[in-house]
Structures are given as C-alpha cells and as structure tokens.
C-alpha cells in the first residue's frame, strides 16, 4: 500500500529580515544575520524552506544590579559586566553570539537616567569592539526612549541594526528613526495577537517595509506563560503561512531576561530544588528549546550553558539540513 | 474572498461609449480604480450593443492589461470573443462562462484547458435556470465532472448558482444559500462558488443595501468569490468584515486597511 504524502504546503511565506551591513553595504559589520524566510513551520524542512533562529546575547550598558544577576550569571561573566565593551567581546569571542543586544538600562530614570550623549558613546564603543550585527534595546520608558533612541539610531546609521521597542502607544519616533537611518524595528505586543498585527500595520503604514520589522509578542518563561507564548507564536506563524502579510514578520523571544526573572531560576533557598548553579541555566535552556519550535527567529539569551544547550537542540532539529543563520 | 470587479461591462452606458470611441483612458481609469479598491481580478464584457464582439474584446483585454496585472475574466455568451479574449490575455485568465449544457461544456472546457484559464460554470442546462436546490447541485456536479475530465483542476472552477433579481424571484436566495452549502460537499477540495452579485438588485431602489446584505448572507453559506462592484466602499467594508467573522484572518483594529495588504 502506498504511504500517503502528508506534507503540507503553504501559500504564504515569512519575510526575510537582514541585520548588519558590511563595509560593501555601507556598514562596518564583518557578518550579517538573516532572519525569517520560512515557507513551513519551524524545522519542517521537508515541507519548505525554514531557517533556524539566531542567538543574541544581552549586554547591559551598566553593571547589573543585585537580584537581576544571580550567581550562575555572575560566574559566567565575571567582571566583564563592569564594562559593556568587554562584556560584548566576551559574548562574541567566548560564547559565540550571532548578535549583541545592547540594553540601555542606565538611561532609565530610576537607574540614573543616563543622557542620550552617554548612550551614544557606549553604543559607538560597542560597535567598534565587535563586528557582529547589533540590536539596541531602550529602557522601556517612553519619554526617555524617544529622547535616546533617535540619537543612537543616527550614530549607528547604515549599520542595519535592530532597534526596540515600539509599542502601540509609542512607535512613531522610533519608526521614523529606523526609516531615516536604515535600521529594522521591534514591535512589541503584550501577549496579544491582535495587537501584534496592529503593531505591524501601524509601523508599515509609516513606510517601513515588512522586511525591516520584527515582532516581539512578549515571552513568558517556563512556568510563567510559556504555553501561552507558544500558542500565540504558533497561531501567528500559521496565519503568516496562510498568506497574512501583516503577520509574516520574524519573531524575537526574550528568553534570558524572562527566564532569569523567575524565582525558580534564581532561588538558592528552597530545599529539594537541586543546585542553583544548574537550575538557572536549565530554566533558560528549556524555555529557549520550547520557543525554537514555536517559531523563534532571534533568541535573546544570557547564560552560555543555556546557549550551548539551545544550539545543540537546533543542530538536532535541523539535522540533515545545513542552514546557518 | 475573491473580488472580481464588474465595472468594465458594455451594459454600462459610459463603458459602452468608451468601447465605441476606443477611449482607452476611460477604461484604464476604471481598471486602476477597481484594483486600487481591492479587486483581485477584473471582468471584461463588451456588452450586447457591440458591433464586433471579437475585436472589442481583444481591445478591452489589451487596454486593461496595459495598466493592471490582475487576472482578467473574459466575459461573453459567445465562444468567439471568449477564445479571442483568452488568447489576448498575457497573465492569468478566467473564462466567464460556461453553462451545464452539453454543447457549452463540449466546446468551452477544452478552450479553458488550452489557455490554462479558470472557469465560471453557471448552473443552467438545456431546461434553463433551475427553480430548486437539487437541480442546481445536480448541474454543478455535472460541470465539476466535465471539468475534471477536461483536465481542469477543481480549484480553477467557480460554480455560479445563478442570481435572479429579488423582486422577480423572492424565494430564490434561500435556494442559493442551500445550493452553495451543498457545492462544498461535491469534492475535496471543493470548487469555488461565485455569484454575479448585482443581479440580486437590478433596477431596484435599495440596490446597494440589497447587494451588501445578500453578499454577507452568501458568505455565511460558503461563497468565496463574487463579480461585484469594488468601488462600492460600504460593500467592500462589509465584505472584509464578513471575512473576519468567518475567521479568515486575524483581527487587528486596523483590519479594514490591512486587508489590502494581505
């Protein structure tokens, strides 16, 4: 008896977003990272083109504070966290990051409120220190981001960075900056697929093409809404593959910060939970491995052991199909 | 929903005059506006007053495809303009239409096959327009089988259950709804269903409201394409909203404007 062919084919395709520009393209990166381009669900390369996600590592522009940087992270990064340039180099040279995400935490009013000029200085120093594509994440305080991010955007003009976050109530300034300086943008939605689509429509209406938009549908870590994140990402991807062009953008997952924000990853006080040194990286690795299969295109991560585990999972899932981001 | 723009039809006075005077600009303006308003394809019909159906059809096709690239539906009751029109179309094409009559199926389906055209099949046979559901489904099944025999894929077939003006045949919409639902069970994948929407309201006072309401009701019963007026803005807004309520796309506050970006 013949075995029925159950492979699915889809009419739509996720757009391709390219980050980083080489000297020939007007930037200074030595590599570029390509996201998206999927014609099937994640890793089902026997059905159509699909591309594994890139891994970005987070670099804060000021040393992390207290509980946000538990012991396993402190051990992995040591005193590199005192200097964003050393931190970024470590991410690329030791931990193999595909991208560096510079998180401008120090610009937040509650964290010293560093000036746009200071942020510009840091961003340029990191740009010169590493040659992988850059993502820059503001401080999530609208007024301050609107002051800082356009300055940073202009400083990085031509580098084809990924800048975030645009939100439903605050997207115009950042979109205009990305348009002017040749960057891609991250549109944030709070675990809400309707707002995710609306963000894409709003940004596209300002003239930024879909090939320069990345969705951040909000990541819930293991035990904190991971299933919900998964189902929203999957539904969005299925809509994109069915032809909804306003859902056909690559997806960012903030795996590291969300995983390390859970008490299960951080706590070393609960008897029976096992050694914290393993538990935290595992929490991040499991969260990341699940989201791989939901359709993550960039995973923002923290712990090198978790990165290694996720890379291993990617290699296993992509077996027989050699496609590097 | 596949929207086939109805406006380039010689039964409209301005179009008839444009065809007579070979006023390409007037036709091209209608073509552009319909596509900009969301038409997925354009229907081209020279009208009954034409003195040279073949030449006029070829002129319409060339005039329209010079400015838009959507599929073109070559609309005629005569085989010669159908063939000349299909031959002239450079992109995707649609034959509008065959009936379920043996003579039509025998000469028009091979024509559609030769030009790789989609086909609209009207549920009319030698006995005329059926007055009930069963006969419509029977003719649809006959057209489907003939299309399959002719090598035309089912997703290139559009069954039209024939819409009559509501004041002439007020019980017909009910039959249409049920027929459309049954068409979907004829094969897997099912053929498309198409209606000539404005027929429901010809020369009636509330024609726009009738068109709009009828379209939405048909969509609830499985209609997935219509020859209709994309320049009727309220009609298009209602159609897009019905698509949303049929769960064809994900909601967003700007779903109306996003629809064209699909």
Helix axis angle, A172-181 relative to A142-155, nearest 10°?
0
Find the CB nearest B249 among A198, A204, A239: A239
Which pLDDT band, with edges at 50, 70 and 90, does A271 fall under? confident
pLDDT tens-digit readout, B112-128: 999 999 999 999 999 99
Torsion region of A269: left, alpha or beta (phi above 0 gives left; psi -120 to 50 gives alpha): alpha
Q: How far away is chain A from the Cα of B188, in angstroms, using its nearest Cα? A: 15
Residue A323 lies in a domain: no
Which residues does chain B have within 8 Å of residue A11's beta carbon, measured at their own beta carbons? none
Residues in A closer than 8 angstroms to B252, CB to CB, are: 194-195, 197-198, 201, 246
> In residues, how long is chain A?
325
In this prediction, residue A323 carries a pLDDT of: 44
CB atoms within 10 A of CB B241: 15
- CA separation (Å) from A44 to A39, B2, B86? 9, 30, 40
Tell me how close the Cα of A204 comes to any Cα of chain B, in angstroms: 10
Q: What is the CATH number of domain B2-259?
A: 3.20.20.20
Provide mean pLDDT across the span B203-230.
97
Instruction: Find the residue in A nearest to B254 (Cα).
Output: A198
Q: Is the pLDDT of residue A252 over 90?
A: yes
User: Residues of chain A whose C-beta is under 8 A from some C-beta in B?
Assistant: 193-195, 197-198, 201-202, 204-205, 235-236, 239, 243-247
The helix or strand, by DSSP H or E, that contains position B245, with its residue range, turns out to be helix B233-245
> Quick check: B108 and B129 in contact, CB under 8 A?
no
- The label of the residue with tokens 């399959």 reads B148
Q: Does an H or E element contain A54, and which?
A: strand A54-60
Average pLDDT of chain B, as a whole number:
96
Residue A96 domain flag: yes
Chain B residues with CB inside 8 Å of A243's CB?
262
Q: Is residue A63 part of a domain?
A: yes
Q: Can you give the pLDDT at residue A52? A: 94
pTM: 0.88
Contact A197 B250 (CB under 8 A): yes
Give the ipTM of the model, two decimals please.
Answer: 0.82
- Residues contacting B16, CB < 8 A, separation 6+: B10, B47, B49
State whether residue B257 sits within 8 Å of chain A by CB: yes
**A194 closest CB neighbour out of B251, B261, B262:** B251
Residues of chain A found within 8 Å of residue B257, distances taken between Cβ atoms: 201, 205
Query: Which of A204, A205, A244 is closest, CB to CB, to B250?
Result: A244
pLDDT at A324 over 60: no
Q: Residue A321: what pLDDT?
A: 57
- Cβ–Cβ gap B249/A244 under 8 Å: yes
Q: What residues in A contact B250, CB-CB < 8 Å?
A: 193-194, 197, 235-236, 239, 244, 247
% residues pLDDT > 70 (chain B): 99
A138 phi/psi in degrees, rounded to 5: -70, -155
Residue A325 has pLDDT above 70, yes or no: no
For chain B, what percent of residues have pLDDT higher than 90? 95
Interface contact B251, partner A, CB < 8 A: yes
Residue A2: pLDDT band (50, 70, 90) is confident
Question: Which residues in chain B have their CB less than 8 angstroms from residue A245's CB?
Answer: 261-262
Of A195, A205, A243, the CB nearest to B262: A243
Backbone conformation region of residue A198, classed left if phi is above 0, alpha if psi is from -120 to 50, else beta: alpha
- Tell me which chain B residue has its CA closest to the CA of residue A235: B250
Whether residue B205 contacts residue B182, with contact meaning beta carbons closer than 8 Å, is answered with no
CATH number for the domain spanning A210: value is 3.20.20.20
Residue/partner pairs of B252-257 with CB below 8 Å, 24 or more apart: B252/A194, B252/A195, B252/A197, B252/A198, B252/A201, B252/A246, B253/A194, B253/A198, B254/A198, B254/A201, B254/A202, B254/A205, B257/A201, B257/A205
Q: Which residues of B touch A204 (CB under 8 A)?
A: 261
Element (H, E) at A184: strand A184-188
Neighbouring residues of A261: CB distance < 8 A, sequence distance ≥ 6: A68, A221
Q: Residue A114 is part of which domain span?
A: 24-317
pLDDT band with cut points at 50, 70 and 90 for residue A320: low
Residues of B in contact with A241 (CB under 8 A): none
Query: Distance between CA B19 and CA A240 in Å, rounded?
Result: 42
Q: Is the peptide bond before A165 cis (omega within 30 degrees of 0)?
A: yes
Contacts of B249 in chain A (CB under 8 A): 239, 244
Q: Which residues of B touch A205 (CB under 8 A)?
A: 254, 257
As a whole number, mean pLDDT of residues B84-110 equals: 97
As for how many domains chain A has, the answer is 1
pLDDT tens digits for range A181-228:
999 999 999 999 999 999 999 999 999 999 999 999 999 999 999 999
Give chain A's mean pLDDT. 95
At residue B261, the pLDDT reads 59
> CA neighbours within 13 Å on the CB side: how many for A284?
32
B260: contact with A, CB 8 A cutoff? no
Partners of residue B253 in chain A, C-beta under 8 Å: 194, 198
- Tell me if B261 and A204 make a contact (CB, 8 A cut-off): yes
Distance from CA of A49 to the nearest CA of B (A): 21
Q: Average the pLDDT over A133-160 and give the result.
A: 98
Cβ-nearest to A245 among B253, B254, B261: B261
Average pLDDT score over residue span B48-56: 94
Search chain B and give the residue with CA nearest A236. Answer: B250
Q: How many other C-beta atoms are found inside a 10 Å radius of the C-beta of residue B233?
A: 12
Shortest Cα distance, chain A CAs vs residue B146, angstroms: 27
Would you call A198 and B254 a contact, using CB atoms and an 8 Å cutoff?
Answer: yes
Selected residue of B258, B259, B260 to mutate for chain A interface (largest A Cβ count, 10 A): B258
Share of chain A above pLDDT 70, in %: 98
Chain segment A42-76, per-residue pLDDT in tens: 999 889 999 999 999 999 999 999 888 999 999 99
Of A33-37, A270-274, B66-70, the one with minimum mean pLDDT is A270-274
Q: Which token pair is A49?
A: 């083109």
With contact defined as beta carbons under 8 Å apart, do B8 and B27 qualify? yes
Q: How many C-beta neighbours within 10 Å does residue B113 have?
A: 16
Closest CA to B164 of B135, B131, B127, B126: B131
Q: How many CA atoms lie within 13 A of A209 on its CB side?
A: 6
The two beta strands, B157-160 and B192-196, are parallel
Closest-CA distance, B260 to chain A, in angstroms, reads 10
**Residue A229: in which H helix or E strand, if any?**
helix A226-241
Are the C-beta atoms of B87 and B62 separated by less than 8 Å? no
- For A193, the closest of B250, B254, B261 (CB atoms) is B250
For residue A7, tell me if it sits in a domain: no
The C-alpha of A202 sits at a distance from chain B's nearest C-alpha, in angstroms, of: 8
Residue written as token pair 């900056």 = A177
Q: Which residue in B90, B85, B47 sits closest to B67, CA to CA?
A: B90
- Of A14, A47, A6, A5, nearest in space to A238 by CA: A14
Q: What is the pLDDT of residue B128?
A: 94
Res B260: pLDDT:
72
Q: Do B261 and A202 touch (CB under 8 A)?
A: no
Convert the pLDDT of each residue in A97-106 to its tens digit.
999 999 999 9
Tally of CA atoms within 13 A in the half-sphere of B21 that contains its CB: 11
Question: Taking a C-beta distance cutoff of 8 angstroms, is the pair A200, A210 a contact?
Answer: yes
Quote the radius of gyration of chain B (alpha carbons, Å): 18
For the residues B227-239, what does the mean pLDDT come to? 97
A contacts of B246 (beta carbons < 8 Å): none
Among chain B residues, the shortest Cα distance to A192 is held by B252
């Amino acid at each position: 008896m013949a075995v029925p062919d159950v492979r699915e084919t889809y009419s739509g395709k996720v757009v391709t977003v390219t980050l980083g520009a080489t000297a020939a393209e007007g930037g200074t990166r030595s590599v570029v990272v390509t996201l998206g381009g999927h014609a099937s669900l994640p890793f089902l390369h026997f059905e159509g083109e699909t591309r594994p996600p890139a891994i970005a590592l987070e670099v804060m522009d000021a040393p992390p504070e207290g509980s946000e940087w538990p012991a396993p992270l402190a051990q992995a990064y040591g005193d590199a966290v005192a200097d964003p340039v050393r931190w970024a180099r470590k991410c690329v040279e030791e931990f193999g990051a595909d991208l560096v995400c510079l998180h401008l935490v120090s610009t937040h009013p509650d964290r010293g409120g560093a000036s746009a000029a200071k942020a510009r200085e840091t961003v340029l120093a990191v740009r010169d220190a590493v040659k992988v594509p850059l993502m820059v994440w503001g401080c999530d305080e609208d007024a301050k981001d609107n002051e800082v991010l356009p300055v940073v955007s202009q400083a990085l003009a031509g580098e084809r960075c990924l800048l975030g976050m645009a939100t439903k109530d605050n997207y115009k300034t950042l979109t205009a900056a990305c348009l002017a300086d040749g960057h891609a943008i991250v549109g944030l939605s709070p675990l809400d697929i309707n707002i995710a689509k609306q963000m894409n429509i709003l940004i596209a209406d300002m003239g930024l093409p879909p090939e320069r938009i990345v969705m951040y549908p909000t990541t819930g870590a293991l035990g904190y809404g991971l299933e919900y994140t998964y189902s929203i990402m999957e539904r969005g991807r299925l809509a994109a593959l069915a032809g909804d062009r306003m859902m056909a953008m690559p997806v960012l997952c903030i795996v590291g910060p969300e995983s390390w924000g859970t008490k299960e990853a951080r706590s070393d006080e609960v008897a029976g939970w096992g050694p914290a040194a393993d538990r935290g990286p595992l929490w991040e690795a499991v969260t990341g491995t699940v989201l791989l299969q939901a359709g993550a295109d960039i995973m923002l991560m923290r712990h090198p052991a978790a990165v290694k585990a996720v890379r291993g999972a990617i290699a296993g899932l992509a077996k027989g199909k050699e496609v590097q981001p | 929903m596949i929207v086939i723009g109805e406006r380039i039809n010689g039964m409209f006075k301005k179009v008839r005059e444009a065809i007579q005077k070979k006023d390409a600009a007037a036709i091209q303006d209608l073509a552009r506006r319909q596509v900009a308003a969301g038409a997925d394809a354009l229907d081209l019909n020279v009208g009954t007053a034409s003195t040279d159906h073949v030449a006029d059809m070829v002129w319409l096709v060339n005039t329209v495809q010079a400015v838009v690239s959507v599929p073109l539906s070559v609309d005629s009751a005569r085989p010669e303009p159908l063939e000349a029109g299909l031959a002239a179309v450079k992109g995707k094409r649609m034959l509008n239409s065959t009936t379920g009559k043996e003579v039509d199926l025998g000469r028009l389906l091979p024509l559609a096959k030769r030009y790789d055209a989609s086909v609209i099949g009207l549920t009319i046979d030698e006995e005329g327009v059926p007055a009930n559901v069963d006969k419509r489904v029977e003719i649809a099944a006959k057209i489907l089988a003939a299309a399959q025999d002719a090598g035309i894929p089912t997703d290139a077939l559009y069954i039209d259950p024939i819409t009559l003006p509501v004041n002439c045949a007020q019980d017909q919409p009910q039959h249409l709804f049920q027929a459309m639902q049954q068409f979907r069970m004829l094969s897997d994948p099912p053929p498309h269903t198409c209606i000539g929407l404005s027929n429901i309201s010809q020369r009636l006072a509330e024609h726009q409201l009738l068109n709009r309401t009828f379209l939405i009701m048909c969509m609830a019963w499985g209609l997935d394409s219509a020859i209709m007026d994309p320049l009727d803005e309220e009609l298009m807004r209602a159609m897009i909203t019905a698509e949303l309520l049929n769960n064809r796309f994900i909601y967003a506050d700007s779903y109306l404007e996003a629809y064209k970006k699909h």
